[in-house]
Amino acid sequence: MFWKDQRVLITGGGGFLGSFIRERIEREAPAQLFAPRALELDLRDVASVRDYLRAHQPTLVVHAAGTVGGIGANRSHPGLFFYENAVMGIHLIEESRLAGVEKFVCLGTVCAYPKFTPVPFREDDLWNGYPEETNAPYGIAKKSLLVQLHAYREEYGFRGIFLLPVNLYGPRDNFDPESSHVIPAMIRKFVEAKEKGLGEVVLWGDGSPTREFLYVEDAAEGVVTAAERYDKPDPVNLGRGEEISIRDLAKTIAHLTGFEGVIRWDTTKPNGQPRRMLDISRAEREFGFRAKTPFDQGLARTVDWYRENRRSDAAHKV
């Protein structure tokens, strides 16, 4: 019954995670669902945000929009990543409060955690140090929204929750080599190397860091479940609770793509954060969320989607 009378606004509804959240909410048949593109709602412009909220009067806001990218994009645009992620969220939270929005779901990032957080990352460790340098501006911008939600709950009774998804992957991801994250970047490199008959693929760092990855449909399920069942100020991790080294990840993707050449590690490039794996017990305890998609299965689906959509794109360009 939670969704029956909800007027839901999702920002970033045309993006990677946002599109899956939108489709998952559609299955709940809310009273109305708004998923504006940037031309219709510019979150960087407070007047645009105010006018949109007044016109559509949402009762629930899911803030999934963001300016994001991999290590290279974060290093190239630290100022842009800080400003846009901070200002979009700050405007939206403030104007949602003024417009009488009943509940606000804010998506943070695992990049907000300190560089040397003990593994597994527990939500209580979020403030115990500075984030890894290559993505600190992005992580701190997102973490500032948690402070805003805490302050607004205390002063205004504004019901905001803050979720911390781990690295996501899956169909519809960004495979642009200039801005993609590690899994889509590797998939593209290995697929293209296989097609061109190359004997070597070069990857960043030394392969030693570990990462945890969450399949995008599982992440969408976690967000929707939290929107319905969770209403506390404490941030909540969304993940699988398993880690894999970048070196082993590369071997797995090479196998899935059929690449049989040499993997060379460029150690002049940064590794990023040494380890990432979340403690996922709070999400399971508070609203019963646990990821379901096996990692190998999710990777295979992602490789298949990329190959199929590359063929479709090529056909459209002919």
Tokens, residue 34? 């708004």
- Single out the residue of 83, 82, 174, 165 nearest to residue 123, CA to CA: 165
Q: What is the largest CA-CA distance in the chain?
A: 62
CA separation for the pair 182, 73 (Å, rounded): 12
Q: Which residue in 138, 215, 230, 306 is the catalytic one?
A: 138
Task: Note if 83 is an active site residue.
Answer: no
Q: Which residues are catalytic?
A: 138
